[in-house]
Chain A
Amino acid sequence: MPRDFPREVTRLTAALAATVLAVGGLAARAADTALAARGAYLAAAAGCADCHTDRPHGGRLYAGGRALTTPFGTFYAPNITPDLETGIGQWSDAQFLNALREGVRPDGSNYFPVFPYPSFTKITDDDARAIKAYLFTQPAVKQSNRAHDVAFPFSWRFLQNGWKLLFFSPGPFRPAPERGEAYNRGAYLVTALAHCSECHTPRNWFGATQPSRFLAGTAHGPDGKAVPNITPDSETGIGKWSDDDIVTLLKDGQTPDFDFVGGAMAEVVKNTAQLTNADRHAIAVFLQSVPAVRSPR
C-alpha cells in the first residue's frame, strides 16, 4: 500500500532508532561498569579505603572519620562516598582531578599534605576518572566531616600555598621507556597510586618527604611508628631480598624469614594482595632499582 509506505518507513526508522539508542545505552552502561571495575582495582592499589574508612571504630566504607596523627596535629579523613550533602556526590570530574592533581578543594582552598596529593598528582587522568566512577558506585553515606584538630599556624590552609611552592611539584607520571615496561609500571604504582613514599620516606621539619632519602624508612612514621627502609641497601634495606620475596610480602605479608608484617603494613598488604602478580612483580622490579640508602644506626 503506497499510501502507508512512508508511515511504515517512519515506524521502522523509529524502531531502528530506538534499538540503536537502547544498544548505545547498554554499551554506555557496560563502559561505565568496566570503568568502575577498573577504578575498583586502582582504588585498592591506592588504598583509599584505609584512610577514608574509620575501621578502628567500625565506620562505614569510605565515609571518612579516621584519625590520622601527625606531628602537626590530628587530621580526620573526609567522607568520599557519593552522598550529595556530606560526601563528594556533587563533584565534577574536573573537581576530583583537581583534588588529586593539585591538592585543591572544590572551594579553591588547599588540602593539607596528609592527603597524599604530592603522590596522587602523578596519577593519570584516565585512572583518576576510573577511581571516581568506582567511588560513585559505592553506597552514599550521610556522615559529616569532622574538623581537623591542628594547632595554629599549621591550621591555616592558605599557608599551604607556601608549602606547595617549596615542596610540591605537580604533574603526571613521566615514564622512562628505556627502562622497560615492568620498571615503569612499578614506578607508577609505587610513586603515584600506592604512594609508598608517604610513609617510607623520612620527612623534613616542614613535613615534606626528603627526595635524597627516598624510601629509606624512618623512626618517626605515621602515628609515631617506625617504618622500614625498603631501598636495596644490603644492611639496612631489603638488598638481600629477591623479586619473589617482595612479591610474597605484597601478596601474603610474609617476610623472607617467615615473619608476617603487622601494623599499617598489614592493612596495605590487604590492598596489594588484590593486585595482579604482574603488578606486584613490577613493584619489586622498581624497588630493586631505586638508589640504595643506608639507614643511620
Chain B
Amino acid sequence: MKSSTKCSMLTAAVICALANFSVVAPAQDKETVVKNREALMKGQGKDLGSVKAYIDGKGDQAQAEAGAVSLTQSTRKIPDAFPPGSGGPNSDGKFAAKPVIWSDWNKFLEIQKNAVSKADVLLAAVKSGNKTTIETAFGDLGKNGCGACHETFREKLQD
C-alpha cells in the first residue's frame, strides 16, 4: 500500500472518528447520560417530597429548605442533562425522551427556565414558612414546571 493511500485512510478514519464523536455520543456515554438524567429527576422527586412533608406537617422546615435549594440547582442542570443524541427510552423502558426536545429546543428551554423561576419562588416560600404560599408554589412548580415539560417532551412507553 502506498504511503499516500495509507495517509488518506488514516485521515478518513480520524475524520470519521471525530465526526462520530461530535454528532452521536457513543453508546456507553448515552447510557450514562440517561442514568444521570434519571438520577437527577428522581432526586427532584425526593426534594419535592421533603417540601410536601413539611406542608403536610410530617417533616421539618430545614429539610424542606434543603430540598427547595436542591431544586433551584437541579432545575438549572436540566439542559445539560439532555445533550443531542440522548433521546429514546429510559433504563426501565417505561418512558422516553421525545425527539421534539431537540427539534424544538427553544420551547424546551422556555419551560425549563420557567421551572427554574418557579423553584426560586418555592425556595422563598419555604423560607417564609407560610404553608399556603408554599402549597401554591409547590403546585405551580409541579404542574407548570415538571408537568408542562412532561406533557410535551416525555412519552409513556409502557404502563
What residues of chain A have their CB less than 8 Å away from a CB belonging to chain B?
217-219, 225-229, 236, 251-254, 257-263, 266-267, 269, 273, 295
Contacts and interface: CB of A to CB of B under 8 A. Distances in A.
Contact of B147 (A217, A218, A229, A266): A266
Contact of A252 (B46, B143, B150, B154): B143
Nearest to A266: B151
Interface in B59-101: none
B48 interface: yes
Contacts of B142: 252-254, 260
Interface of B: 44-46, 48-49, 52, 138-139, 142-143, 146-159
Question: Interface majority SS on A: helix, strand, loop or mixed?
Answer: loop
B32 to A, nearest CB: 22
A257 B143 CA distance: 14
Contacts of B44: 258
B18 to A, nearest CB: 36
B45 A226 contact: no
B46 A253 contact: no
Nearest to B146: A260
B150 A266 contact: yes
B38 to A, nearest CB: 11
A291 B120 CA distance: 43
A262 B151 CA distance: 4
A225 B143 contact: no
Given A254-B147, A257-B45, A262-B153, 18 more contacts: A219-B158, A225-B155, A225-B156, A251-B139, A252-B142, A253-B142, A254-B142, A254-B143, A258-B52, A260-B147, A261-B150, A262-B149, A262-B150, A263-B154, A263-B156, A266-B147, A266-B150, A295-B159
A226 B154 CA distance: 12
Contacts of B147: 252-254, 260-262, 266, 269
A266 B148 contact: yes
Given A252-B143, A258-B46, A273-B143, A263 B52 contact: no
Contacts of A218: 159
A206 B57 CA distance: 51
B45 A262 contact: no
B151 A263 contact: yes
B157 A226 contact: yes
Contacts of A227: 156, 159
A262 B40 CA distance: 18
26 contacts: A219-B158, A219-B159, A225-B155, A226-B156, A226-B157, A226-B158, A227-B156, A227-B159, A253-B142, A253-B143, A254-B48, A254-B143, A258-B44, A258-B48, A258-B49, A260-B142, A262-B150, A262-B151, A262-B152, A262-B153, A263-B150, A263-B151, A263-B154, A263-B156, A266-B147, A266-B151
